[in-house]
Amino acid sequence: MNFETEISLLIKSRYSLVLVDTIDEDFVAGQLFSVAAAMGLCVYCWSLTKGLRAGKNENSFYQTGPPVNMLKTVADLTEDKAPALFIFSDFHKFLQDAVVARLFKDIVAAINNTRITIVIIGADQPLPPDIEPHAARITGGYPDEKEILAEINRTLAEFSGSSARLHISLEPVDARRLVKSLKGLSIRQIRNVINTAILKDGRLDKTDLAEVEKYKKGLFDRESVLEYFGAEQPADIGGFANLKKWVYERKAAFFADDSPLPPPKGLLLLGVQGCGKSLAAKVIAGELGIPLYRLDLNRLYSKYLGETEENLRKALKTIERLAPVCLWIDEIEKIFASSSGEMDGGVSKRVLGSMLTWMQERKDRSFIAATSNDINNLAPELLRKGRFDEIFFADLPQVPERAEILRIHLLKRDLDPKKFDLELMARGCEGFSGAELEQAVISALYSASGSNEPISTRHILEQLRLTRPLSVIKAEDINFLRDWAKDRAILPV
């Protein structure tokens, strides 16, 4: 449901108070004006600096800058109960004043069940406890894909109409990726990043996608418990044939609005450490062609009462805003552990409950890719069907997968796999994980460099012989995991 549809529904439902959390007041105000015009509502706007104005009129009611004066004028304007929409900017900041709060509560009570709605717009709007229950909260100011495309075209038209030379070279697939990459940004942020990309070299092409994603990653890393990551392609991971097939078969249903099949909700990747679960999450996002965000454990939990739950609520609202998107929950057992909650005042139980409800009831196009190393610490509620569509087990790679993994890591370091005996190396590393194979290649590069000779099969075999894999060091734990998965999970090989 987009913003205009959501706010229209709230107004028609006769909510007297709505809070819109936004960083782009102008964009939201424009949308509210459009909604009011479609519904035949008079519009009044207020800000501390401009006072109360009728519609887009620059002339304000006399001395209505101060909140008390403004509220008295609003009380007069609403006395006849004529349909109207009032837009207050940053008004929540003044509700700590007892007189302002009392006047405001009287107005909210007076317009209850009428065609009058007060909308407060601003960023991060806490309300006093006695006013909060009367308010509906929504998020606004973030354009959908059609609006993003319109803004890109508007920006390009401005450059084309200027004296500056502009070269546009975007294939349809790159244009779609650009639009998806810009989702979750405000109109102002979209305009800024497109302007920067163009002014840098007078071009807008495929190379600018990396700059857009870098900008977005920096923005989310500063402001959110969600961390933006680049996706990977299926060719970047060895093995996981069943997983790749599973995602590919559901790709069409994920995007289709008229498909009789329900869109996939997500999957849990259980398995041995270092066997590619995190990389698989990135590959899922790449195969679906959607952005990837990781839920950051360090930022989610807070020492302050109620802040952890609020952080999760904001993160889930952001995911809904960004959809279609892939939410990567790495080592999910550390975030939503099976716990009584006695050690943390019940925070873990409340967080788990909120997450389970969202996973079950969400209607947006978000896909969850969760990873886990320890099945014993996962709450049983997380494992049942409906939360995840499937559980995959990432086992230690066999000979063909090990050869493929070695080939991928050689290619990543600009080495020709044809010059190496992949079969010999793959047979000489039984029990090695993908991460351990990568480190063997890296160590071999250092060894060859130290000997001042080109890297060869011999150097890699030597490093493999020197390495004791985790499957030997932690044999009991890994064997337990593998035994558990035999009859309970799909093996992604």
Report the alpha-carbon distance of residue 487 to residue 373 in Å, rounded: 17
Report the alpha-carbon distance of residue 373 to residue 390 in Å, rounded: 16
Q: Which of the two residues, 381 and 113, has the higher pLDDT score?
A: 113
Q: Is residue 151 domain-shared with residue 134, that is, in the same domain?
A: no
- Find, among 65, 59, 62, 21, the residue nearest to 46 by Cα: 65
CATH number of the domain that 201 lies in? 1.10.8
pLDDT band at 481 (very low <50, low <70, confident <90, very high): confident
The secondary element (H helix, E strand) that includes residue 122 is strand 116-122
Classify residue 487: in a domain, yes or no: no
Classify residue 478: in a domain, yes or no: no
Could you tell me the maximum CA-CA distance found in the chain, to the nearest angstrom?
90
Q: Is residue 196 domain-shared with residue 214, that is, in the same domain?
A: yes
Q: Is residue 250 domain-shared with residue 219, that is, in the same domain?
A: no
Which backbone phi and psi does 139 adopt, to 5 degrees? -110, 140
Average pLDDT value for the chain: 86
Mean pLDDT of 399-403: 93
Q: Is residue 203 domain-shared with residue 266, that is, in the same domain?
A: no
**Among 99, 114, 139, which residue terminates a domain?**
139
pLDDT at residue number 339: 52
CATH number of the domain that 406 lies in? 1.10.8.60
pLDDT at residue number 186: 87
pLDDT beyond 60 at 454: yes
Q: Is residue 281 domain-shared with residue 409, that is, in the same domain?
A: no
Q: Which of the two residues, 206 and 224, has the higher pLDDT score?
A: 206
Q: Is residue 66 domain-shared with residue 184, that is, in the same domain?
A: no
- Find, among 270, 239, 240, the residue nearest to 481 by Cα: 270
pLDDT beyond 60 at 37: yes
Q: Is residue 255 domain-shared with residue 360, that is, in the same domain?
A: yes
pLDDT beyond 80 at 335: no
What share of the chain has pLDDT > 90, as a percent? 40
pLDDT band at 223 (very low <50, low <70, confident <90, very high): low
Lowest mean pLDDT among 124-133, 223-232, 263-272: 223-232
Q: DSSP letters of 404-429?
A: HHHHHHHHHTT--GGGS-HHHHHHT-
pLDDT band at 373 (very low <50, low <70, confident <90, very high): confident
Rounded to the nearest angstrom, the gap between the alpha carbon of residue 38 and the centroid of all alpha carbons in its chain is: 32
Lowest mean pLDDT among 53-57, 142-146, 233-237, 348-352: 348-352
pLDDT band at 462 (very low <50, low <70, confident <90, very high): very high
Between vectors from CA 441 to CA 440 and to CA 447, what angle results, nearest 5°?
A: 85
How far apart are the two ends of the chain, measured CA to CA in Å? 38
Cβ 184 vs Cβ 22: under 8 Å: no
Classify residue 384: in a domain, yes or no: yes
What DSSP designation does 218 have?
H
Percent helix, strand and coil across the chain, each to the nearest 5: 50, 15, 30
Based on the structure, what is the number of domains in the chain? 4
- Which residues span the domain enclosing 288? 234-394
pLDDT beyond 90 at 20: yes
63-67, 183-187, 216-220, 263-267 — most confident range = 63-67
- Find, among 36, 22, 383, the residue nearest to 187 by Cα: 22
Residue 412 tokens read as 């990543």
**Among 187, 204, 223, which residue terminates a domain?**
223
Residue type, 35: V
Q: Is residue 369 domain-shared with residue 282, that is, in the same domain?
A: yes
pLDDT beyond 80 at 65: yes
80-136: pLDDT as tens digits: 999 999 999 999 999 999 999 999 999 999 999 999 999 999 987 888 888 988 899
Q: Is residue 344 domain-shared with residue 285, that is, in the same domain?
A: yes
Report the alpha-carbon distance of residue 142 to residue 111 in Å, rounded: 29
CATH number of the domain that 262 lies in? 3.40.50.300
Classify residue 404: in a domain, yes or no: yes
Lowest mean pLDDT among 20-24, 83-87, 175-179, 248-252: 175-179
pLDDT at residue number 492: 64
pLDDT at residue number 297: 77
Report the alpha-carbon distance of residue 131 to residue 138 in Å, rounded: 16
Cβ 269 vs Cβ 370: under 8 Å: yes
pLDDT beyond 70 at 163: no
pLDDT at residue number 123: 84
Classify residue 218: in a domain, yes or no: yes
Lowest mean pLDDT among 68-77, 145-154, 202-211: 202-211
- Find, among 37, 67, 31, the residue nearest to 52 by Cα: 67
Classify residue 485: in a domain, yes or no: no
Mean pLDDT of 193-214: 83
Cβ 467 vs Cβ 473: under 8 Å: no
Q: Is residue 19 domain-shared with residue 83, that is, in the same domain?
A: yes
Classify residue 492: in a domain, yes or no: no
Q: Which of the two residues, 179 and 306, has the higher pLDDT score?
A: 179
pLDDT beyond 70 at 325: yes
pLDDT at residue number 385: 75
Mean pLDDT of 27-48: 94
pLDDT band at 224 (very low <50, low <70, confident <90, very high): confident
**Among 139, 174, 206, which residue terminates a domain?**
139
Classify residue 489: in a domain, yes or no: no
Q: Is residue 239 domain-shared with residue 377, that is, in the same domain?
A: yes
Q: Is residue 439 domain-shared with residue 351, that is, in the same domain?
A: no
